[in-house]
Amino acid sequence: MKLTIERQTKIIFGVFLATTFTIFMVHLVWVWPGQRCEEAGKWWDWRTRACAQPIVISSITGRILKSDAARDAARAELAKLKAATPPK
């Protein structure tokens, strides 16, 4: 009986260590870099572990915002997106 209890204790301790190590690695590889990226105002993709800088679509298309109304609308949309982001 004593041998069985010792064996089960070692198994449970091994499972505890493996779980602790796994949780630490997940935080080290995905959670903490994601938090640093989002605090910098960038986008974090957890699948590829990429931190990307958001850019204005007019930068990609080359379309120039000539009118003040379009520029104001773009700024309002950006402010709305920032307001919708939950605080940390």
Block mean pLDDT (10 aa), the chain, length 88: 92 98 97 93 91 80 78 80 64
- Clarify whether residues 16 and 49 are in a common domain: yes
- Clarify whether residues 1 and 27 are in a common domain: yes
The answer to whether 51 touches 43, Cβ cutoff 8 Å, is yes
- Clarify whether residues 1 and 31 are in a common domain: yes
Q: Which of 41, 52, 48 is nearest to 85 (CA)?
A: 41
- Clarify whether residues 4 and 47 are in a common domain: yes
Structure tokens of 1? Answer: 């009986």
Q: What is the pLDDT of residue 23?
A: 98
Structure tokens of 45? Answer: 């993709």
Range of the domain at 46: 1-54
Q: What is the pLDDT of residue 70?
A: 79
- Clarify whether residues 2 and 29 are in a common domain: yes
